[in-house]
Amino acid sequence: MKLKYILIVACSLFTLTGRADEGMWMLGNLNKQTRKAMKELGLQMPADKLYNPKKPSLKDAVVSFGGFCSGVVVSEDGLVFTNHHCGFSSVQQHSSVEHDYLKNGFVAHSRAEELPNPELYVRFLLRTEDVTKRVLGAVKPSMSEMERSSAVDSMMMVIGGEVSLKDSTLLGVVDAYYGGNEFWLSVYRDFNDVRLVFAPPSSVGKFGWDTDNWIWPRHTGDFCVFRIYADRKNRPADYSPDNVPYHPEYVAPISLDGYKEGSFCMTIGYPGSTERYLSSFGIEEMMNNSNQAQIDIRGVKQAIWKREMDSKDSIRIKYASKYDESSNYWKNSIGVNRAIRKLGILDKKREMEQEIRRWIQQNPEEREKLLQLFTDLELNYKNRREVNRAQAYFIESFLYGPELVQLALKILNFDFEGEQKAVIAGLKDIVEQYSNLDLDIDKEVFTALLKEYRSKVDTTFLPEIYHTIAQKYDGNEKAFVDSLYASSELTTPRGLKRFLERDTTYQIFDDPAISLGIDMLTMLFDMNMQTQAPTTEIIRGERLLNGAIRRMYASRNFYPDANSTMRLSFGTVCGYTPFDGAEYDYYTTTKGVLEKVKAHVGDVDFAVQPELVSLLSSRNFGRYADEKGEMKVCFISNNDITGGNSGSAMFNSKGELLGLAFDGNWEAMSSDILYEPKMQRTIGVDVRYILFMIEKYGKAGNLIKELNIIN
């Protein structure tokens, strides 16, 4: 016990002094300070084995999965490990009441059984390049903020476009870093033929569901397996039965050695976005507006969905993916607001801003440029506060709410004259949404959200439909919704079909759902215009603040906010103390799965198939057991991650795969704004549990044989 306590304290002390665990570092821009910190912490690989644009390196095994998650290549034939929740929509699309892959899982025992996913792609990073001078070369001192933004955007597009002109298989993307003070080009290659190979049942991949989401201790086997296909020359190709498995530049080796308290651990993936440099005014706005809108509106919508999903399997399958996506960020918003208050994040930010104010006052050069920085930021956030709040509720209530409105807007904005491939993919997406739509549920959601929106905003921000409801339907929202759905042709694909076939008896712009969609877009445009001036000044102020922070603390080792580009974070495997009197260990085992099943009898979030209970109870773990004969399920490290990192590879000091990152912990939900070294933890699923489930539960030994397993 004493040794364990010493290790936890040591982990915390290292965080407070070296802070090597904080940061989402660019692999192509690792400075000496960062490389030294990694080596001191235990890394046994040279930097050019992590990232090398000219030779195969570890970064070549890491992919952006669909643009919303991460993944890792683990076989010479293109197998990719990612999270179950990242592959959830693909599993759902292939599921039916007869073939319920969500409930029972899916196993392809041969290549012929692997299932295509036309909407899915994986993206490999080839190289990065600093293009700051070239981008900012287009900026003139006399430009306004809007002119500056336009010039920067144009140059970013030009630089990115040059990559594809030289090689049509490549994609160039220029991203802004440090609030728009730096710009880097990333060169990618995308593969569009990605097939589902293995998915555990949701009782494994989603074990704990909403109850355990963002919570440690965790016992979720959050993994899924896909395969990348290419043409016979190993080049990107759209789906074809003639395609063959892709042979990658680099394959991640897999370790069965596991980890101990204090073991080095690094995570490589594609984190979405963080706001570590955001002002206290911006954080306050985020809490009260966008976060609170998600909490209030999604809570209403999801309660209706969940009730119907629990009552009928066909509805569960239709709504599983969209419920999962919606509820994930709903609970995230609850946790973020809670953590901001509990950890005093706003007070910490304001204290730092007071230091910057004093520094500005004490430095003539800075005082001349930034004397009004915080005054202007405060004023501009105040000037857009009410409209911004209403806009957040408006978007959640109507643009992300009733699916009839979503479909009307998709059709309204559809580019029917676009490239054939894009048109076909877009139409398939619309048809897919129709196939997963239940009109009675959607009507109930629409009615409930009309009431909820009105209760949350000032009457100034009510769209025209509320006047119609009051005048024509005596204030009865349900009557309005029933009438809308009864009179619109867009409640089924029939209206779209009539429009595409140029049916002269159907004018799509006269359809009430389209008319409603146009009204919604018009109001959203009006809201944007009302906030345009303060928003432009806020962008400028936040960029200037970002630059000032880096100048004031010039001796510190800064990293840029996450922006969906490849990043590395590193630290150690270690537990933590969430509150006084409690101590969390750094791993969980299958014993905890069985305990939760027994403790939550009748709770669908913890329901597990009898055959899985029997398998885990047998303790026949084979070579996947740890040194005590236990099967570890999940583990935690103090790596720095955020949304988009789901599915990210978690490597040991030798670059061998330990597991997949899939979540953060409830006590540090404010981590996108401020890293909390004592609290923040990355939750990963142990690769040995993944392999055990594939081999012993899925009986897919053929997949195990493909892997480079290091004993």
- Strands 193-199, 62-65: pairing is unpaired
pLDDT of residue 306: 96
Query: Do the domain assignments include residue 557?
Result: no
Burial 297-336 (b: 16+ CB within 10 A, else e): bbbbbbebbbebbeeeeebbbbbbbbbbebbbebbbbbbb
CA distance 130 to 185: 6
Q: Which domain holds residue 8?
A: 2-121+192-270+566-710
**Which whole number is the average pLDDT over 98-110?**
96
CA distance 91 to 673: 33
**Which whole number is the average pLDDT over 428-441?**
94
Query: Do the domain assignments include residue 699?
Result: yes
Three-class secondary structure of residue 244 per DSSP: strand
CA distance 196 to 89: 11
CA distance 79 to 251: 9
377-433 per-position pLDDT tens digit: 999 999 999 999 999 999 999 999 999 999 999 998 888 888 888 888 888 889 999
Structure-token pair, residue 618: 């047998």
Query: Do the domain assignments include residue 518?
Result: yes
CA distance 488 to 667: 47
| Whether residues 132 and 100 fall in one domain | no
Q: Concatenated DSSP letters for 541-557?
A: HHHHHHHHHHHHTTTS-
39-62 per-position pLDDT tens digit: 999 999 999 999 999 999 999 999
Tell me which of 18-27, 52-61, 357-366, 552-561 is least confident.
18-27
**Which whole number is the average pLDDT over 444-467?**
97
| Whether residues 106 and 137 fall in one domain | no
pLDDT of residue 169: 95
| Whether residues 348 and 262 fall in one domain | no
pLDDT of residue 406: 95
| Whether residues 183 and 257 fall in one domain | no
Q: Would you say how long the chain is, in residues?
A: 711
| Whether residues 541 and 428 fall in one domain | yes
Q: Tell which of 170, 190, 210 closes a domain.
A: 190
CA distance 665 to 660: 15
Structure-token pair, residue 318: 């239709």
- Strands 709-710, 254-255: pairing is parallel
Query: Do the domain assignments include residue 177?
Result: yes
**Which whole number is the average pLDDT over 286-295?**
97
**Which whole number is the average pLDDT over 218-235?**
98
CB 117 within 8 A of CB 196: yes
| Whether residues 513 and 449 fall in one domain | yes
* pLDDT level of residue 504 (50, 70, 90 thresholds): confident
Between 21 and 5, the more confident residue is 21
Query: Do the domain assignments include residue 622?
Result: yes
Query: Do the domain assignments include residue 555?
Result: no
Q: What integer best gives the mean pLDDT of the chain?
A: 94
| In the predicted structure, residue 33 carries a pLDDT above the cut 60 | yes
Tally of CB atoms within 10 A around 2 = 6
**Which whole number is the average pLDDT over 78-85?**
98
Catalytic residues: 85, 222, 646
* pLDDT level of residue 215 (50, 70, 90 thresholds): very high
* pLDDT level of residue 568 (50, 70, 90 thresholds): very high
Residue 539: Cβ-neighbour burial (10 angstroms; 0-12, 13-18, 19+): middle
Query: Do the domain assignments include residue 378?
Result: yes
pLDDT of residue 6: 36
**Which whole number is the average pLDDT over 367-371?**
93
CA distance 259 to 255: 10
| Whether residues 311 and 402 fall in one domain | yes
Q: Tell which of 487, 516, 550 closes a domain.
A: 550
| Whether residues 324 and 391 fall in one domain | yes
Tell me which of 14-28, 111-125, 212-226, 619-633 is least confident.
14-28
CA distance 691 to 707: 10
| Whether residues 216 and 309 fall in one domain | no
Query: Do the domain assignments include residue 525?
Result: yes
| In the predicted structure, residue 359 carries a pLDDT above the cut 80 | yes
| Whether residues 502 and 639 fall in one domain | no
**Which whole number is the average pLDDT over 116-144?**
96
| In the predicted structure, residue 286 carries a pLDDT above the cut 50 | yes
| In the predicted structure, residue 16 carries a pLDDT above the cut 50 | no
Residue 481 sits at φ, ψ, to 5 deg, of -65, -45
| Whether residues 129 and 198 fall in one domain | no
CA distance 228 to 508: 40
CB 184 within 8 A of CB 175: yes
pLDDT of residue 503: 85
pTM score, whole prediction:
0.93
| In the predicted structure, residue 5 carries a pLDDT above the cut 50 | no
Cross-strand bridge partners of residue 636: 683
**Which whole number is the average pLDDT over 197-217?**
96
CA distance 232 to 621: 39
Domain containing 591 — which CATH number?
Answer: 2.40.10.120
| Whether residues 393 and 509 fall in one domain | yes
* pLDDT level of residue 14 (50, 70, 90 thresholds): very low
Number of domains in the chain: 3
Q: Tell which of 190, 210, 241 closes a domain.
A: 190
